A and B are shown apart, each in its own frame.
Chain A
Amino acid sequence: MSDKNLSSKMFDWVDSRFKISALVDYMGTKVVPEHSHSTFYYLGGISLFLFIVQVISGILLLMYYRPGADSAFESVQFIVSTVSFGWLVRAVHSWSANLMVFFVFLHMFTVYFTKAYRKPRELTWLSGMGLFGLSLLFGFSGYLLPWNELAFFATRVGTGMAGAVPVIGNDLLIIMRGGEEVTGATIGRFFGLHVAILPGLFTVLLSAHLIMVQRQGMSEPIDWVNKSDAEKKYMKFFPNFILRDVLVWLIVLNVIAVLATFFPDGIGVIHWPLGEKADSFAPPPAVIRPEWYFMFAFQALKMLPAHILFLEGEYFGIIFFSIGGLIWALVPFLDKKSAVDQKSKLFTAFGYFVLAFIIFMTLYGYMVE
């Protein structure tokens, strides 16, 4: 019993200075709706947990990683072959990165289809879109850092696509690459982006996202407006939901450990073997492919004809994706029906179209290889 006294004493000490009991009381009143799609509520939490894993494993990698054309590859090789558990840290970072992108996708689509973006959560959706974009940038910039053949050519192709952006394309390409070509200068930029700029932005956006979620609570299913209070079931956020969250996180962590041990270099199309050091004079490998989450865009751009109407094919593709992305991001404002708790069939159909497009293009991309 004595330690209980101790912990309550500590609480009192903090409370007398920061007045946190109001916060604790607020947490105690928070509830989470229970219904057939309640599992969706865990997806954001899993993404958050994976981000934490990324931060910790990323900081660990930073202890030995050295950016630069003549040290990046060597230092990663050193981590994998010489440092104790270095293989594990790299494998965890890579697996967790892929899983994070995957769960962010899932989180985004479930929110979209349950129309949880509707009033009053427009800004939560927007901040989520920002986090989604940053996650993809994290993946893209991190891929180059080992400076191996695979990454080198994928980055050359990826930045080349940025070069096709109308008007600013060429400047964008030069800024991204730090010159005309992908060189040691590019590593410096990508490294800075990956370990400083993106984490900073991500943390700010993530905090905003979480505060909004905590302030507004979980979105209730759209058809609950017609239900009586008796029909609605809730679960206490603290401790019930939090405990379940932790349970899921533990399982995810164990899954990562299993994947990292059995497939330290990834498996199938999710594959990151260190291989040979990047060499701009070496012939490109037979298959240059981006990470799986860029595959749909890569494939779609590849399939475009050289000219569409009066535009160059690539211009068209990039405009197409920009407009698509903009509609997606602004959906809470465009979907007027959702604001009055009505399901818009049009926007549901649009969601299915986007999902089908991404899945089809991804599968097609791997099939045509």
Chain B
Amino acid sequence: MSGEKSRRGFLEAALSGSALLAMVAVFYPIYKYITPPKLAEAKLSQLKLSFSRADIESEPKKAKYFKYGRSMGIIFLTETNELMALSATCTHLDCTVQHRPDLGIIWCSCHNGRYGMDGSNISGPPPRPLEPYQVKEVGETIFVSKGDS
């Protein structure tokens, strides 16, 4: 009699114990999920740059790089003080291009590939133009975005 009782007690304990643990197994991920990550919201396709026009101006080459998803972009100041942004990866062999204010071009140093400020491939090996980004300035902040939006 007492043996059956203790067996029943054990079963009950095991059942409620594992039920409790199962709750933990379900609610732990949920708790972690609703805890906001360090970067609390998704970066949109419109990217807010972490620097301002003045930062770009103070660069010797009047250009800075930014990370856009998996790819790298370059934003630079033209002679007419316009901000323009292009994909920074050369279309020839994946080197990173740079702004050459002295020549008025975007330049890939690997094989002397030259692009116009609009990204068009002017001379050298590049087979295709660099893809442009849209640039929008709101006060001090700069937004870049891709595509037609």
Contact = CB atoms under 8 A, between A and B. Distances in A.
Q: Do chains A and B touch in the complex (CB under 8 A)?
A: yes
Interface of A: 56, 60, 63-64, 66, 69-71, 73-75, 77-79, 82-86, 88-89, 250, 253, 277, 279, 281
A85 B33 contact: yes
B37 interface: yes
Nearest to A277: B45
B84 to A, nearest CB: 20
Interface of B: 22, 26, 29-30, 32-35, 37, 39, 41-46, 145, 147-149
Contacts of B34: 60, 63
Contacts of B149: 69-70
A77 B70 CA distance: 12
Contacts, number: 55
Contact of A77 (B33, B42, B147, B148): B42
28 contacts: A60-B33, A60-B34, A63-B34, A64-B42, A66-B41, A69-B149, A70-B46, A70-B145, A71-B45, A73-B45, A74-B42, A74-B45, A78-B41, A78-B42, A78-B43, A82-B37, A82-B39, A82-B42, A83-B33, A84-B29, A84-B33, A84-B37, A85-B33, A86-B33, A89-B33, A253-B26, A277-B45, A279-B147
Contact of A84 (B26, B32, B43, B45): B32
B145 A66 contact: no
Contacts of A279: 147
Given A60-B30, A70-B145, A279-B147, A83 B44 contact: no
Contacts of A75: 41-42
B32 A71 contact: no
Contacts of A253: 26
Contact of B42 (A60, A66, A250): A66
Contacts of B46: 70
A57 B68 CA distance: 29
Contacts of B30: 56, 60, 85
8 A-B pairs with the lowest CB-CB distances in the bound complex, closest first: A78-B42, A75-B42, A84-B32, A85-B29, A70-B45, A85-B33, A74-B42, A82-B37
A26 B30 CA distance: 36
Nearest to B35: A84
Given A69-B149, A70-B149, A83 B37 contact: yes
A111 B44 CA distance: 47
A74 B120 CA distance: 29
A88 B148 CA distance: 33
Nearest to A92: B29
Contacts of B33: 60, 63, 83-86, 88-89
Nearest to B29: A85
Nearest to A253: B26
A107 to B, nearest CB: 25
Nearest to A86: B33
Contacts of B35: 84
Given A66-B42, A84-B37, 15 more contacts: A60-B33, A69-B149, A70-B145, A74-B42, A74-B44, A75-B42, A79-B42, A85-B29, A85-B30, A89-B29, A89-B33, A250-B22, A253-B26, A277-B45, A281-B148
Nearest to A83: B37
A71 B37 contact: no
